[in-house]
């Protein structure tokens, strides 16, 4: 009897292991199967929830949703990603603002860096305290609602603001790497889509993110741009990486599709209205 049990285990366990690994790697490539998606940061209505189910993926501000509403969106297989800003602290997020310490802010020329366009402050992503706040916020307001993944916004600030400041850039990249590693440890199956931060992806996060978003993918700016063409060719060669674009017009949307990217047409970087 023991011999039969041993033989059975020798047969079954490798199959279970193979199935588990298939699930793991299959999940990581789910973003590659998406053909359309939508970004919406506003509050949902019953009609909007039903409309969301028609897309392969939606990116939402999960503070506005209940777990039940997210389950409704997922019923037909729609992937749901929850929004998380890592380099900028929104002043509207009063719960998080109350918890940050003075040392969590990023000081530039001995002053806090305020971004008027978005009413946000740049944060020191290398701060352990700030990392813990982000992890707690992600756990309580995103992961707890059983989303499929996290949309990481403002990571591109590292490249945009500190491309000439090697020391600060490396410090922030190290902190970002620590944050992503901790997120994966909390939920190894979580999908991560990073907005912008192309150099940071290339040097630091390529083994931890499942997709890259390229906002303002505008053919009029990119077609004759050496910088743009170099990055288009780079991402076309990246295996197992889903590339999403936000195109301002139909011509840019078609140009994105031609590259093998996944476009969403929106003429601004504001996503609070359902159209």
Instruction: Summarize pLDDT for 216-236 with one digit per residue, the tens.
Output: 999 999 999 999 999 999 999
User: Could you give the maximum distance between any two Cα atoms of the chain, in Å?
Assistant: 75
- The pLDDT value recorded for residue 118 is 92
Tens of pLDDT along 2-48? 344 444 444 444 443 443 333 334 566 899 999 999 999 999 999 99
Whether residues 4 and 112 share a domain: the answer is no
Q: How far apart are CA 148 and CA 150, in angstroms?
A: 7
Q: Using alpha carbons only, what angle is made at residue 85 by residues 83 and 89, rounded to the nearest 5 degrees? A: 135
Q: Are residues 21 and 157 in the same domain?
A: no
- Report the alpha-carbon distance of residue 99 to residue 241 in Å, rounded: 35
Residues 19 and 139 in one domain: no
Do 20 and 48 lie in one domain? The reply is no
The reply to whether 273 falls in a domain is no
What is residue 95's predicted lDDT score, i.e. its pLDDT? 87
Does 50 fall in a domain?
yes
Percent of the chain scoring above 70 in pLDDT: 90
In a domain, 53, yes or no: yes
Is 119:91 a contact under the CB 8 Å cutoff?
A: yes
Q: Is the pLDDT of residue 246 over 80?
A: yes
> Is residue 115 located within the same domain as residue 246?
yes
Spatial distance between the Cα atoms of 110 and 45, rounded to a whole number of angstroms = 45
Compute CA distances 196 → 152, 179, 214, whole Å: 9, 17, 6
Say if residue 129 is in the same domain as residue 252: yes
The parent domain of residue 104 ranges over: 34-265
Task: Write down the pLDDT at residue 22.
Answer: 37
Instruction: Kindly state whether residues 24 and 51 are assigned to the same domain.
Output: no
**How many CB atoms are located within 10 Å of the residue 259 CB?**
17
Same domain, 17 and 40: no
175 within domain boundaries? yes
Asked, for residue 216, whether it belongs to a domain, the answer is: yes
- Assess whether 57 and 104 both reside in one domain: yes
Is residue 165 situated within a structural domain?
yes
Q: Kindly state whether residues 9 and 133 are assigned to the same domain.
A: no
DSSP result, 158-189: HHHHHTT-HHHHHHHHHHHHHHHHHHHHH-TT
User: How many folded domains does the chain comprise?
Assistant: 2
- Rounded average pLDDT over 112-127: 95
Same domain, 100 and 13: no
Domain presence at residue 21: yes
- Residue 147 phi, psi (nearest 5): -75, 170
272 lies in some domain: no
Q: What is residue 29's predicted lDDT score, i.e. its pLDDT? A: 83
Q: Residue 135 maps to which CATH number? A: 3.20.20.70
Residues 141 and 235 in one domain: yes
């Amino acid at each position: 009897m023991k011999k039969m049990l041993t033989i059975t285990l020798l047969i079954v366990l490798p199959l279970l292991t193979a199935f588990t690994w298939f699930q793991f790697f299959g999940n990581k490539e789910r973003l590659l199967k998406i053909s359309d998606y939508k970004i919406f940061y506003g509050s949902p209505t019953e009609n909007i929830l039903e409309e969301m189910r028609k897309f392969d993926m939606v990116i939402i501000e999960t503070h506005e949703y209940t777990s039940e509403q997210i389950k409704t969106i997922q019923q037909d297989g729609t992937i749901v990603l929850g929004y998380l800003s890592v380099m900028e602290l929104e002043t509207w997020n009063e719960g998080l603002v109350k918890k940050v310490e003075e040392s969590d802010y990023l000081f530039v020329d001995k002053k806090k860096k305020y971004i008027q366009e978005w009413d946000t402050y740049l944060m020191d992503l290398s701060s352990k305290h700030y990392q813990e706040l982000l992890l707690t916020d992600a756990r309580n307001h995103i992961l707890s609602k059983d989303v499929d993944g996290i949309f990481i916004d403002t990571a591109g600030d590292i490249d945009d603001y500190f491309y000439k400041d090697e020391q600060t850039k490396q410090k922030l990249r190290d902190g970002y790497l620590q944050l992503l590693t901790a997120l994966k440890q909390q939920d190894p199956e979580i999908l991560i889509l990073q907005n912008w931060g192309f150099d940071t992806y290339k040097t630091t996060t390529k083994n931890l993110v499942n997709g890259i978003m390229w906002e303002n993918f505008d053919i009029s700016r990119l077609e004759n741009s050496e910088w743009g063409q170099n990055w288009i060719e780079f991402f076309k060669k990246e295996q197992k990486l889903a590339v999403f674009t936000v195109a301002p017009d139909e011509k840019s949307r078609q140009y994105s599709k031609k590259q093998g990217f996944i476009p969403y047409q929106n003429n601004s970087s504001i996503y609070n209205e359902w159209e």
